[in-house]
Every structure is written in structure tokens, then in C-alpha cells.
Structure 1
């Protein structure tokens, strides 16, 4: 006799079998037919803030704060017109902060377990609601964010938010849980360090102690600052510290989530069978059906599906490599079953694990930090030659599409800061490389396009990074925002020029089929056989069936270079070029055209390139 449960299992099985027989079973392995993905990361708390006081450790009343409502139709249209198709709203989930919202049923957070005054967006306090700071009416904060999702979609942009599975705020309170969802830790056995279905790791019979050198709010008075935080027994800290009294440099404001990894590092859950790196997300989803998995897995899957149902188009996963890739297989395959086009981006910094998180964890994209980002930073700071970019592309050729490129984000030093490129202009060649060298998505951080350098002292942390812990204004961005007009009315001429550069580059990238096609470096042949070819130059070609590009970048901010660029015979052959002259037109500045002469199967073209200049020559 077949009951309803058995019928459901049969239906799932048949669906998976049919899905796995399709030609393209895994959407992340399909490159778009036209153009690249461009992600605009914006720190939601800072975007609409018009206040320019910028007092270190200032309160929300002193320094101001942006709201969901500041993302107006005009603002979103301008972001879209910059050449963007995804917007990552950073700092949306309700996280711990130092402000009294008890009138809205929210408990106060102890400043001794909060970084800064506005709090870290990665110490989430309630995953089923949003940051009350961002709402005009905190009682309606979720509805205000839902309205923003709708406005964003109306503007033709897709929405990404953060999920932070590795850790949560020390004082997590799920006061908005859907029916049937229990709070984190509610059923934990706190008498033991580890139990498979505990949500946390514990230090039994030992209370938590505040870090020795912690000075909350820079010494300002607060009734909750008393040298004590009520957590007994203490939990492991988010970065894995097992001390009841963590160090000030630990992630002391968070606690580590238990995914069934025993304290000795062994796994206490089903592992994926051999060969599953070749399987589709549908097959991964089928594998996990009826499997017994740790409770934390179920809780985070519920969180992801909750937001997916609200129209969120993708997630950025904080410190994903601190969570086992089996969990990611479980959760990501579930998300993809609801939305096959979901954009899943992970913060992973260990190159040896890249392929595991892509193929076994079913991630769409990972940060390309320790390879391309770090290399570009070394180049512009005079610590490295551009030649090594070719080795990076070669080494990641099988996964390059999955490695998201960026030069600026909330964690890193601003591109225009003295600690990085030094000026926005010196950052231009890095941006051209980051955008054009591979088929991967490109990401920029709000303010980057107008040269924001992160010079403000917001309070917690240091300058050169725009603060994610305190209330602060972002000066260059505020000049573009122009009191809510979002028309760049207060930008300087150089800032307007820079934004126009980003706009041309990004809009070209989202329509270029060649940038989703083939790559070949021509650096080595020019470095070996061209004495006029300066070491600060880097060149490569990109092509598709209907577009051919030659890209030349000058990393020097002082030297103009003039040379004859050689196009090797194998490129000429692949492009089916004949012995004659071809016109090349620059697509970035559109200020010049040059002639490519093919003679006896080899090409040569004259290049005159100014300091920090780049050309994207298209063969007509």
C-alpha cells in the first residue's frame, strides 16, 4: 500500500532523475551567452547617510544613519546605469548594536559584546528580521526591507544579502522565528563541550569573561558597561577560540556554530560519496533526502529558504571555509531547487579548498583574493611584476569563471587609500584587469567609483577601511549622493571623470561576448622579444565568435610607453586573420584607433600609452 509520504518520495526521485538527464544539469557551469555579472556592494547603513559630522564613536543622533528608504528609484536607476546587475545589501540581518530599541520588543545589547557603537553586521542577533537602524519606523522594519526588494527588482537589479553560518551574536534572540522554528541553543546540552545536535560548543561550568583590554564605546558611560556579560557556561568564540576569556583580537562578540565537527576535527555526519564533485545540484539535493544531519544544518537551511521566499536572489556567505562543504552541499542544493538562478558567493581564502567548495559545496562563486587581488595590490605597490598574472590565470583556468574579482570591499583597505593604490587614478589599470581578464563576476564597493579613500576615524578599527562598526559618513559618496538627488552634483571634475570611467568599463563588460569567451596572454612574447616593452605593461587578448579584443594596461603612474605590440601567430591563426591591415578601436576611452598589420601570419600594432592608462582595442 502506497501512502502520501511514499508518493512524495517517488515524485522527488522522478524529478531528480529527469533533471539529471538534461544537457545542462548545473546552472553554475553555464556561462552567460552575453556579458559579465557585475555586483555592486553597498553598506546599507552608510549609503543614504547625509550627515557629515563624522565624530569618532559618534551616536546615531550625532553622526546620522542611512535608511532602506534612501535607496530611491532614482538611486537604484543610477546604480543600474553604472553597469550593474546585482546589488549586495550588506548589513541587512538584525545584528547586535548599542542603541535602545526596547520599545519595539528588542532587548538591549551589552556594549562589552559589541564592536563599535553601530555593531558588526557579522554578529547577527535575529536572522528572521532586519536591522532596526535602517527603518524609518523600526516596528515596520521588515516591511520596509520587503519594499526595497521590490524597488530593486523594479530597477532591473537582483538582490544579494549576507548569511553568516559560522557564527552568530553572543546574545542571539530569535524573536521573529516562523512557526516550528526553535531558537539557536534552546535544546542544547550545556553540560558537555560537544554534542552533535548542540548548536554551540561549550566550556562547561565556566562563565564567559570579557577580554582583558576591551574598552567598550571608547570609555563612554553606559548602564550595561559593568565588566560582566551573562553567559554561563561560556561558549567557543566565533573564530574558534576555546577560551572562556577570549583575546581582544578574537571575534569575541560572536559564538561559533556547531555543524557536527567534533573538537578533534573529525566529522560527525554523512559524507558525500566519491565522485560527487561531478554531480549536479539536483543529485546533491537527492542525496541529502532522509539523511540524519546536525540540527544547525536544518536551522540555517530554514533561514536561507525564508529569505529566498521573500525574493532574495542570492547570498554572500561570510567565512564559508570555516563550515564543512558537506553542509554547503546540503543547503545550496536546497536553495537551487527553489531558485536555480540563485547567486551563491562564498568568502574562501584557501586556494587548496577552492574546488571542494565549488564542486562539492555547490558554490557559484568564491572570492579571488589571495590570487588576483593580492597580486594586483603587490603590483601597484611596486612589490611584484605584472608577469605573474598569466600564471594565476593558467593555474585557475578550470575554475576561473567561479572566482569573483574585486579591489574594494568592506573588509579591505580602500583602493584609493595611501595603503593601497594611493590615488583613484592609480587604481584604474587594476580595475581594467580585474574586470576584463576572466569570465568571472566583477564586484565594486560603493564609493569606489568616485575615489573614496576611507580616511575617516569612525571609532572602532582603523582608517583606510570604511567603518562597518560605527555611524559615519562617506565623503566622496556623499558628494555623488548630493543630498538625496543622486546626480553627482557635488563631485569634483576628477571624481566625475572617474565615475564615467567606471561606467564605461562596466557597461562594456556586461555587453561584451568576448569577455565571456577565450583568454590568452601575449605578455610573455612581448616581454621576451620587445626591448621597448616596459615591465609595467601587461597585455592579453580575449575573443568570442563575434568579438575580438586586445587589452593593454600600463601600471606605471609616471611613465608613458611607446612600443610595437606583437600579436603571436597562434592568436592570428585562431582569429582567422589574413595578411593585411585591420582597424582597432579603443572601447574604453574611444579616443583613438590603431592599425593591426598582419604579415606572414604574425601581427604588430603601434601602442602609445600614458601613465595609468588602459586600452580595450576591438578588431573591426
Structure 2
């Protein structure tokens, strides 16, 4: 386990470096632009580092299926009938050993450009995380740069049977794959000789979201093929692990390939639909040679958290169904939302593993805070971000554009107007582009309010990174000690983070209006830290000072609406 708090910046290079502002519905790479790996310059990385980040998660760098024709570079075009969006989904991997062609300035040297990005990131003082998508691949998967001796997925399969533990895929023998009806790839204006509503795949392979039919629906992951880890799903999920399935070794080789390039960690996609036995085998084997490499799992079943951490070997898991959901309800001022829901997170399903949980308020799957589907105002996230960053020693993550209030307005193509920044389409992020300022990365074009928002994120993250109590200290909740205090309500949340040397009192207010409350510290806390008499405390975020004539009687504070305090005790 790393000996410091991870502060992760997630960015899609395709979006991050894009300077073109056209944003045409279903626009091409030429029309809407596409960011390159080389756009993530030393200056850009220095600005990211200055905000307090320790790691960058480069999302969508491995080659995935796309509607863009790269045949001029010797790359076989993908059939658009099994591609989602003009750019394509980063989670429909076409070649696990290659870099997405769109991201390269010089396509012939695309892998070298990625290695150079890794080098720049390390030189800036940060580490590199990339995606590992273990459950499925693009229907057009075919590696053209795999190392000598590597056998491609399915190359040795017996496709006359629906299942064999030695096969890489699942099959529907004797039946061809059927493209879902009603799919119009690329929109009305997109023309391609391959756009005919058909895809040549016989026998059909099972679809990524466990659809064992030749005709998946339009809402299924029809662009992907499910990989076979030795589990027969049509026989009560019967496992065949008496010998290690060939796919396991192939995945080990793939991760080793990226580790050798200097990758420091993997965000692993949809880990719960891959058997935990695979993770229990894979992760220790990778760590035997690369002990520093971290594994972050996208997980949603809180009843399986312990299993994937203690048996599967993951360093960290998403805390989506716990803290994210609770904070979102509070941020949106939903009826019945209560800060006691935060108590339930650490006191129940995250009990004993709070340090293993990755906290966030945005990522590529979730709606933007500033969108009308979430809070509609990025500043309303302040109390939730304070809690997400400081509740525990586990990682906190920010999604590129979040720090400048990117609203994800409008439909993009395959991505509708749903409050999410598209991962399927060529697109520019308007508010992020103001900060990017045509590659200067100086925020010159940001309005004052967004500059203040970005400054809040930078101050919060740096305090969290540098303060011993916040990055590695213990936790003591103060809700019970204060629930009968005048001014208390269930939209306030308060706790102490502490070590022998440092103490930080965290108070957040999810109400839209200010609240005044006298914060009481329990007798055992006063005694443990020898606190008594008159005292003054400064808020590390604003510099505002609060004083008390006798700390034993409490600390009177005023917390602005949708805000919070980090008081040095």
C-alpha cells in the first residue's frame, strides 16, 4: 500500500488537448478536433501538479475501435455498425498492445509518444495510471503490434462449442451475429461503405454485458465481445479453474507489457463481472515483479468490497454506491437527504476498509456537477468535495473539467444531452478550453467565478496532500457530540482528523444558507490533546479565525451555505 494519499486527476487525452471549439453533432475528427498525447505538455503537467495531484489517470489511451478510417497508416478500418460514436468507446479495446491512433501526432511513432508522455509525467513528479478493461474487447479486435510469440484472443479457440475453458471467447454455434435494429452509426451525415447494418461474425460471440445471444439489443454493449475466464454462465456460473485458463496468462502478459513502459497503476473496469479468482492470481503475480504498481477497481456491489480487497488483492475500490450517492443527494438538496448517510458509509459497508475506498464527485461515467442533471452550479460541490478529500486516507479523484465547472451541455452524437462529457465522440470542453487557452494552460480566459472554483480545488487538494492529519491521520466523528447543540441540523457534518502532531476539525454545511453552531469536543478528545482554556483557530481554506474563551465550552463557528471549514486545532 502506498505510504501517502493518492490525489488522482482523470483526463481523456482526446478531450484534454483539443483546442477546436466547433462541437458539431456527430462531427469528425477534422471538424471537431482531437487532442493528442503531445498536447499534454510539461506546462500542462506542471499546472496539474501544482493543484496537488500525485497521479494522472490517462483514460482511453489504448487503441479502441473507431469510425475514423486510419487505413492510410496500415490500420484496418472498423465496421461502424459495431462502433459507438464517431471516435468510438475507449472501453471497446481493439488492440491491447497499441496506442489509440487518434492520439498520435506521428502515427508510426504513437507508442513512442506514449512513452514520452509517461516520461514527462514522471519528470513532473506524478505517476501514471491507465485503464485495464478485462471483461470485454471490441468485436473488431485484432492486434497488429503484438510482441513476437503472442497469440491473439480467439486465435486458438474451438468455435464449434459454446464454451470451453480453453477458449478466449463464448460462442453461439451456427448462428451469425445480428446488429441491433435501429442503430444509425455516425448519424445521417456519416457515409461509409461498411455502414450497411451488418457485421460479419459467424458464429456469433457473446456480448460484453453477459448477453449470450446472437442478437443483442441496442442498449446492450453490442460493440463488445465478452472474454472467457473459465466460467460457464449457462450452467449456473460453473467455474473451471483446475488449470489456469489461457486468457489469464494473456492478460498477465498485457499488464507486464505496460508495466515495462513505466505505468504505475491500473484502473480496472467492471471488476465484479470478472471472477475474483482471476484477480487473486493476477495481482500478486504482477506485484511480485512490480511491487509499486497499484490496482483500482471499478466496483458497485458493497457486499463484495471485502472480497475484492482481501481476496482479490485490490489496493482501492470505487466508493460510488456509498459516499458518492450520499453526497450527491445532499448536494442536490434532495428531500430526506441527511449527513447521517455519510456516517452509514464509514460505519457500515466501508468499516475497516475506508482507507481502501476511492472517493470522487465526478468521473467519465457520472454526470457533471455543473450540469442541470446534477447541481446546476459547480460551487455547490464545495462541502461534498471537502468530505470526499478529507474523510479518510484513501484516494480522492477529480475529473478533468470538474475544477472549472464544465457543464457537459448539449448532445454530442452517440452521447445524448445527459449531463455527461462524451467519451464516444470528438468534442471540445468549452470551460476547460478557456483554462487551456490554446495550449498556454494559464487560465487567462476563465471568468472570475471559475478561477475561484479552480483555486478552491487547488487549495483543498494541496492541504489534503500536505497536512499529516488529513493524509494519514485517524478519524473521530463529532455528530453525536453535537446533535443536540443549538444550530445543528442534518445538513451539517463534522469530524476530527488527527495525529500526535496535527489536528484538523472539519465542518461542512450542505444547507444553501449559513449556519452558526457551537462545536463541542468530547471530554476524551480534550483530555487526549490537553486542550483547555482560551484558544483561536484558523480556517486553512479561507484564513478566517474563530475564537473561544474556553474550548471546553465549545468553538462557536459560522459556516457559509454550501461551504466548509478546515480548522487547525
Structure 2 CA distance for aligned equivalents of residues 45 and 388 of structure 1: 37
| SS in structure 2 at match of 1:246 | coil
Equivalence for 2:395: 441
State the secondary structure of the residue aligned to 1:106: coil
Instruction: Name the CA distance, whole Å, in 2 between partners of 1:585 and 1:202.
Output: 64
Given that 2:536 and 2:545 are in contact with CA atoms closer than 8 Å, whether structure 1 keeps it comes out as no
Aligned-pair CA distance for 1:537: 1.3
Cα distance, 1:596 vs. partner?
7.1
- 1:584-619 CA-to-partner distances (Å, cap 9, x unmatched) read 1111112334337333xxx50111111112100011
**Structure 1: gaps (5+ residues):** 1-27, 271-291
Q: Shift of the alpha carbon at 1:457? A: 1.9
For residue 523 of structure 2, the aligned residue among 559, 565, 569 is: 569
- 1:238 corresponds to which of 204, 208, 211: 208
Is structure 2 residue 144 aligned with structure 1 residue 189?
A: no
Match of 1:254 in 2: 224
Structure 1 residue 556 corresponds to structure 2 residue 511: yes
For structure 2, the residue ranges without an aligned partner over 5 or more in a row are none
1:524 to 471, 475, 480: 480
Residues 415 and 425, structure 2, Cα contact 8 Å, conserved in 1: no
Q: Does 1:90 align with 2:83?
A: no
Give deviations 1:351-409, integer Å, cap 9, x for gaps. 11111111111100000000000111111222311122112111223100111001110
Q: CA deviation at 1:73?
A: 0.4
In structure 1, C-alpha distance between the alignment counterparts of 2:167 and 2:54, rounded to whole Å: 40
Q: Is the 8 A contact 1:269 1:294 kept in 2?
A: yes
1:575 Cα deviation after fit: 2.6
> In structure 2, the residue corresponding to 1:482 is in which secondary structure?
helix
- The corresponding residue for 1:138 is 107
Distance in 2 of aligned mates of 1:574 and 1:561: 28
Q: CA deviation at 1:417?
A: 1.4
Instruction: Note if contact 2:283-2:313 (Cα within 8 Å) is conserved in structure 1.
Output: yes
Q: Structure 2 residue aligned with 1:408, among 355, 359, 362?
A: 362
* Offset, 1:486: 0.3
Match of 2:406 in 1: 452
Query: What are the Cα deviations for residues 523-544 of structure 1, in whole angstroms up to 9, with x where unaligned?
Result: 12212x1132233211111101
Pick one of 235, 239, 259 that aligns with 1:267.
239
What is residue 66 of structure 1 aligned with on the other side?
35
- Name the count of aligned residue pairs: 561
Cα gap change, 1:605/1:258 in structure 2, threshold over 3 Å: closer, same or farther?
Answer: same
Is the aligned partner of 1:590 residue 2:559? no
**In structure 2, how many angstroms separate the alpha carbons of the residues matched to 1:543 and 1:422?**
34
> Could you say what the CA RMSD is over the residues aligned between the two structures, in angstroms?
1.2
- Give the secondary-structure state (helix, strand or coil) at the position aligned to 2:108: helix
Match for residue 558 of structure 2? 608
Match of 1:312 in 2: 263
Q: Can you list the C-alpha shifts for 1:422-451, whole angstroms capped at 9, x where unaligned?
A: 201101111001001111100000011111
Cα distance between partner residues in 2 of 1:382 and 1:496:
25
Q: 2:17 aligns with which of 40, 48, 55?
A: 48
Among candidates 366, 388, 394, match of residue 341 of structure 2: 388
Partner of 2:446: 491
Q: 1:392 to 1:136 in 2, by over 3 A?
A: same
Return the alpha-carbon distance in structure 1 between the equivalents of residues 361 and 487 of structure 2: 30
TM-score, normalisation: structure 1: 0.89
Tell me which of 512, 515, 525 is aligned to 2:467: 512
DSSP 3-state at the match of 1:218: coil
Contact map agreement 2:518 2:557 (CA 8 A) in 1: yes
Secondary structure of the 1:614 match is strand
Q: Is the 8 A contact 1:54 1:456 kept in 2?
A: no
Confirm or deny: 8 A CA contact 1:57 1:218 kept in the other structure. yes
Q: Partners in 2 of 1:444 and 1:596 — Cα distance?
A: 39
Query: What is the match of residue 276 of structure 1?
Result: none
Checking the alignment, whether the CA contact within 8 Å between 1:456 and 1:466 is kept in structure 2 is no
C-alpha separation in 1, matches of 2:165 and 2:215:
24
- Find the residue that maps to 2:239 and give its secondary structure: coil
SS state at 1:483 partner: helix
Task: Please say which of residues 328-337 and 317-326 is displaced more in the overlay.
Answer: 328-337
Cα offsets for 1:22-66 (capped at 9, x unmatched): xxxxxx2xx62xx52100000111000000010010001110000
